[in-house]
Structure 1
Amino acid sequence: MVKSWAFEFFPNPHAHGGEGAAEIDPKLEQDYWNFYMDLWVSAEALGFDGLLLSEHHFGGGYSPSPNILLPAIAQRTKSLRLGVMGNVLPYHTPWRLVEEFAMLDNLTGGRLEIGTSAGIPAELAMVGMSPAEGRARYEESIQVIDQALKNGVINHKGEYWNIENLPVVPPFAQKPEPPKWTTVISVESARKAAKRGSKIATGFISTDKVKEVFDNYKEAAAEAGLEAGPDQLGLRRQVIIDATSVPSEKAEGYKDAFVDMVAAFDKRVIAPGRKALDSDGAHGYAFGDDEFISGSPKEVAEQIKDQCERSGAGHFQVVFAGHQSLEELAMSWKLYGEEVIPLLK
């Protein structure tokens, strides 16, 4: 069985339109927010196991503080798992973020998934933070967060934070702690996540590369005396779905545009000599052809099953792509829920 998670970037509808704040219609803006709230809530009835939001800043997304959205979604759902994939730790004070996680776990009725990320170099640079500083802040934040989740009290001395006997209040609803996820693209980061008992999620890279990353994760987990199987890996992919099939030119057009967009923003793309933020080594990453899944519901399900079986993933995080309108987007969610999820289960 493969569990399905809706992965939501919550795009800024004005990112490429050049509209100023004075030109934005407040009613249309509220309609846009209401549409997405209704869409996210619909995930539960459609059979999704969970909904994952993302944290992005400075233009492309409408979700710089995604944790704020989770309680609103939780109030309108009962079983849907909820999380952020992931909170970008270099932007946050870790002890304060742990308190927020504790509140969210209670407000969601014990449905919180804790996701962390080191961030994107281009976004870090916009606030004057180098990849090296971002990495250092991330690593130290992880130490604080893991200790807080395990002990309920923080004692830490480091470069950025010095904390003594700081209690975490309120207590978490989930015992011993909520599931932890780390966004990775490299073997090094996967091994680090395994040793701290965090699940991993990955995308963009080829399925063969995902398997290599997960094989190393399982090896590191075994060295730490921890079990690792399909439940520890989430595979994220872009999905273009239609009731019958998707014209190849539509899929190829979206693929080319998306890769160009990411490459312009993230200097790690196809850049072997650059310092990658999620690794101590110097490397970049290249998009795999299997990053983009397209076709009818049956065709989409077969591709997902194939990639999950080859990589060892027990979770699939779907990013709905290629739609030209909100109506098309809603139809993609409906098709996936009603026709793909049953095939994956």
Structure 2
Amino acid sequence: MIKPWIFEFMQAPTPNEGEALRGAITAAFNGCYAFWLEAERLGFEGIFFSEHHFSHSLSPSPNLLIAAISRHTTRLRLGTMGNVVPLYEPWRIIEELTMLDHLTNGRLEIGFAAGVPQELQRIGLGMEEARERFNEALEILDAALVNPVVSHSGKYWKFENLSLMPGVFLQPSPPKWTTVVSTGSAQKSAQRRSKICTGFESVSRISEIFDVYRGECDRLGLPAGPDQLAIRRNISISRDAAQAREEAGVAKAATLKVIAGDPRAIDRASSLLDAPRTGAGFSVHDDDYIAGTPVQVTEQVINQCRKCGAGHFLAMLGRSMSPRRRESLALFGEEVIPQMRRAQISR
């Protein structure tokens, strides 16, 4: 079975002035809200919200979105992919997550991310310091997920017997995810007993990343099956295959604009977790853009998941303000999801 998720980027409306911009932002939030409620009706597994800052996205605080939608849904799993750890006090992250697990009635998925270099640089946070903060904060976060009373002495945080509230998760062990773009970060995620999600790259490159993760899990005696692995893809779906392909081209152009200035994408420089190891960056491959009729999209989704062994599929279904987005959601939910849930992933 392949579990279908929504990956919510929440693209911001085109900058404008005064009331026009205010109205566009309100309309974007209202449209997304209706979209998420429909996703539950259509049988999606859940929603992963992204976190981005300063441009492009209306989701600088995804935990607020989880809290808002949680009170109006009953089945959807809700999480971030992921909270940008270097921007926060780690104890604060845990306190919010424990609140959210109770607010969602135990439907929370926990996701951590190192952040996008160009966003971190806007506030003067260089890649080296961000990497150090991320690694140190993960030690605190992983400890706090097990015991709500934590002690730590490191470069950036020092505290003793810090009691975090509400203190306990509703779920005995909430699922934990990390976004990765390299084999090194995949290996470290396995050591932390975290599931992983990746995108952008070709299926063959993702298979390499997943193979390293599986190898490290095998070494540690941990589960490493399809339920530990997720891929994120852009989906353009229509009854008209040509229209879908055209929309995929627009989506790719938008992606390239968003990641412009990311050194990992441009010259395959080291990722935040792997610097200064060479070859740790990522590329944007055509495999990231799945387009066509419902039958064609179904075939591509299942084929990619089978090749790399992913048991979770995160779908980016059109731009937040697109008038065709609800149509795409319906086509994917009604015609693709039933086939995904019947598909067998053997790796």
What is the TM-score normalised by the length of structure 2?
0.93
One-letter amino acid of the counterpart of residue 278, structure 2: A
Which residue number corresponds to residue 219 of structure 2? 223
Cα 1:288–1:31 shift into 2, 3 Å: closer
* Maintained 8 Å contact 1:240/1:246: no
CA offset digits 1:7-66 (Å, max 9, x no partner) = 00111102xx4x23x253544432322111111121110110010111000011011111
After TM superposition, the structure 1 stretch with the greater mean CA deviation from structure 2, 147-156 or 86-95, is 147-156
Establish whether residue 82 from structure 1 lines up as the match of residue 78 from structure 2: yes
Cα 1:105–1:36 shift into 2, 3 Å: same
* Maintained 8 Å contact 1:236/1:318: yes
The structure 1 residue matched to 2:317, chosen from 320, 326, 329, is 320
Which residue number corresponds to residue 250 of structure 1? 246
CA offset digits 1:267-309 (Å, max 9, x no partner) = 211413x332232313322122211100011110110000000
Matches within 5 A, 1:259-270: 259-270=255-266
Aligned equivalents of 1:320, 1:196: Cα separation in 2:
31
Establish whether residue 342 from structure 1 lines up as the match of residue 338 from structure 2: yes
CA offset digits 1:58-106 (Å, max 9, x no partner) = 0110111110111211111101000010000000100111000000000
The structure 2 residue matched to 1:134, chosen from 125, 130, 138, is 130
Cα 1:173–1:209 shift into 2, 3 Å: same
* Maintained 8 Å contact 2:235/2:316: yes
Cα 1:25–1:227 shift into 2, 3 Å: closer
Cα 1:238–1:222 shift into 2, 3 Å: same
Structure 1 stretches of 5 or more lacking a match?
none
Which residue number corresponds to residue 276 of structure 1? 271
Establish whether residue 32 from structure 1 lines up as the match of residue 28 from structure 2: yes
Aligned equivalents of 2:312, 2:249: Cα separation in 1:
27
One-letter amino acid of the counterpart of residue 273, structure 2: D
* Maintained 8 Å contact 1:203/1:236: yes
Which residue number corresponds to residue 4 of structure 1? 4
Which residue number corresponds to residue 344 of structure 2? none
Q: CA deviation at 1:209?
A: 0.8
Aligned equivalents of 2:157, 2:120: Cα separation in 1:
20
Structure 2 stretches of 5 or more lacking a match?
342-347
Cα 1:206–1:123 shift into 2, 3 Å: same
Aligned equivalents of 1:50, 1:252: Cα separation in 2:
23
Aligned equivalents of 1:248, 1:57: Cα separation in 2:
29
SS in 2 for 1:24: helix
Aligned equivalents of 2:282, 2:195: Cα separation in 1:
21
Aligned equivalents of 1:52, 1:164: Cα separation in 2:
33
Q: CA deviation at 1:253?
A: 2.9
CA offset digits 1:248-268 (Å, max 9, x no partner) = 761563255135314423221
* Maintained 8 Å contact 1:184/1:278: no
Identity, % of aligned pairs? Answer: 43
Aligned equivalents of 2:245, 2:221: Cα separation in 1:
48
* Maintained 8 Å contact 1:276/1:282: no
Aligned equivalents of 1:25, 1:262: Cα separation in 2:
20
Which residue number corresponds to residue 108 of structure 2? 112
4+ aligned runs moved over 3 Å, structure 1: 25-29, 246-249, 323-326
Aligned equivalents of 1:241, 1:67: Cα separation in 2:
29
Establish whether residue 60 from structure 1 lines up as the match of residue 56 from structure 2: yes
CA offset digits 1:201-243 (Å, max 9, x no partner) = 0000111111111111011112222111000001000110002
Name the structure, 1 or 2, with higher relative contact order (CA <8 Å, separation 6+).
2
SS in 1 for 2:324: helix
One-letter amino acid of the counterpart of residue 279, structure 1: D
Compute the RMSD of aligned alpha carbons: 1.7
Matches within 5 A, 1:56-205: 56-170=52-166, 171-175=168-172, 177-205=173-201
Aligned equivalents of 1:248, 1:306: Cα separation in 2:
19
SS in 1 for 2:125: coil
One-letter amino acid of the counterpart of residue 304, structure 2: Q
* Maintained 8 Å contact 1:301/1:340: yes
